[in-house]
Amino acid sequence: MPSTVYFIDLRATIKRSLVRKLDELIEAVGLAATVKPGGLTAIKLHFGEKGNTAFIRPVFARRFVEAVKAAGGHPFLTDANTLYVGTRSDAPGHLVTATENGFAYSVVGAPLIIADGLRGHSAVAVPVDLPECKEAWIGAEVVQADSLVSLSHFKGHELAGFGGAIKNLGMGAASRRGKLFMHSNITPSIDPKRCISCGRCIERCPVGAIKFVRRGVDEPAPKGTKNHEVKASKDPAKCIGCGDCILACPKEAIQIGWDAQIPDFLRRMVAYTKGVLAGKQESAVHFSFLTQISPACDCYPFNDAPMVADIGILASTDVVAIDQASVDLVNKAPGLPGTELKHAHAPGEDKFLDIYPKVDWQIQLEYAQEIGLGRRDYNLVKI
């Protein structure tokens, strides 16, 4: 039987504001039934990198906090630390960034707790028993919570094709060890012929794996380059595979083995989603915000123009169905001109494949369904 995905559009009136419609969506999906009275409820969301403005608005987060409290639960907002250089790689910086982005207690009405501790090492090994991994290292505070509310800002993603509920949980709730494992097969290489020596990749690398070298002096000059040219070069032994350098490069000089590495990455991410939801399948609910649908992750200190107009907010107890419905709604929408979209502007064309032609985003949905996380077929119910 198809799963149910509830949907509200963004039309509003003086008697029925978007906030009120969100309350109706929360009630329709049955959030209250997933909350353990007297228990702790983790509200997992992305607080946004400093400089990014596409993340879910704090005023919306507060509605979920109030709904959990009304059901007798004790909510806290949470996310795990990042691998990359930025303002959220440790708990102090993460909390400061979240507060600066509007997620203060006075606004959201709940405490903020970083899921994997001070430096990303507070984790629990959750058995998943899959070919990709036997256990998933998940942020301890998410594992120890009694119930889970997932709030995802739906958008494009350079390694996953799109980022939705599956990525919000599988990657977003993983500890540093878990994130390193998921990225461990990603090995970017730099094409010196395309490199313009701008240094952006060096600035973004969190482990100092990239540096400038003089061709023919520090290392041999490859065919097509000249001796003494200064080009970026990567040390494979230091690289952690986070992929930040790929999007940073303005000339697409940094590439990975898309056909082999991306499928493995996506399956590992899905395996970790299973770890996050272990023991919580009946006590988890998912919401997807199809607003400011930017082409790349909210982890960057900027957000590019949205590729389609704002669509609405979805809710489901099925993590697979909500992502499938989100993809479908975006692809059915007309693409906006003057954005990262190159060709797929017509309704029905694949927006994500247009921007990331080497990333088969369907892999994450196919594998998630295969291992029993949910169903790809769904009924969309408009509230």
Q: In tens digits, what is the pLDDT along the chain, a chain of 383 residues?
A: 999 999 999 999 999 999 999 999 999 999 999 999 999 999 999 999 999 999 999 999 999 999 999 999 999 999 999 987 789 989 999 999 999 999 999 999 999 999 999 999 999 999 999 999 999 999 999 999 999 999 999 999 989 999 999 999 999 999 999 998 998 887 788 988 899 999 999 988 888 999 988 865 555 555 555 555 778 888 888 888 887 888 789 888 988 776 668 999 999 999 999 999 999 989 999 999 999 999 998 888 889 999 999 999 999 999 999 999 999 999 999 999 999 999 999 999 999 999 999 999 999 999 999 999 999 999 999 99
179 HSE (CA, 13 A, CB side): 25
Separation between Cα atoms, residue 11 and residue 258, nearest integer Å = 40
pTM above 0.95, yes or no: no
Could you identify the residue written with the tokens 């060890």?
Answer: 177
Domain ranges of the chain: 3-184+259-382, 189-255
- pLDDT of the residue at 233: 83
- For CA atoms 306, 47, 382, 353, the dihedral sign is positive
Domain 189-255 has CATH 3.30.70.1090: no
Alpha helices in the chain (DSSP H): 18-29, 31-34, 58-70, 91-100, 105-108, 140-144, 165-170, 176-183, 200-204, 244-248, 258-277, 319-332, 351-355, 362-370
C-alpha 10/C-alpha 290 separation (Å) is 10
Residue with tokens 């608005």: 57
Question: Residue 216: its pLDDT value, please?
Answer: 56
Per-residue pLDDT at 1: 92
**Nearest CA among 70, 48, 64, 43 for reference residue 142:** 43
Choose the CATH number for 3-184+259-382 among 2.60.40.10, 3.90.320.10, 3.40.50.11440, 3.40.50.2300: 3.40.50.11440
DSSP, res 361: T
74, 36 contact by CB (below 8 A): no
Distances in Å between the Cα of 378 and the Cα atoms of 1, 45, 231, 327, 383 are: 8, 24, 50, 12, 15
The pLDDT of residue 32: 98
Tally helices (H) and strands (E) across the chain.
Answer: 14, 16
Length of the chain counted residue by residue: 383
What residues contact 91, with CB distance under 8 A and at least 6 apart? Answer: 81, 114, 117, 118, 119
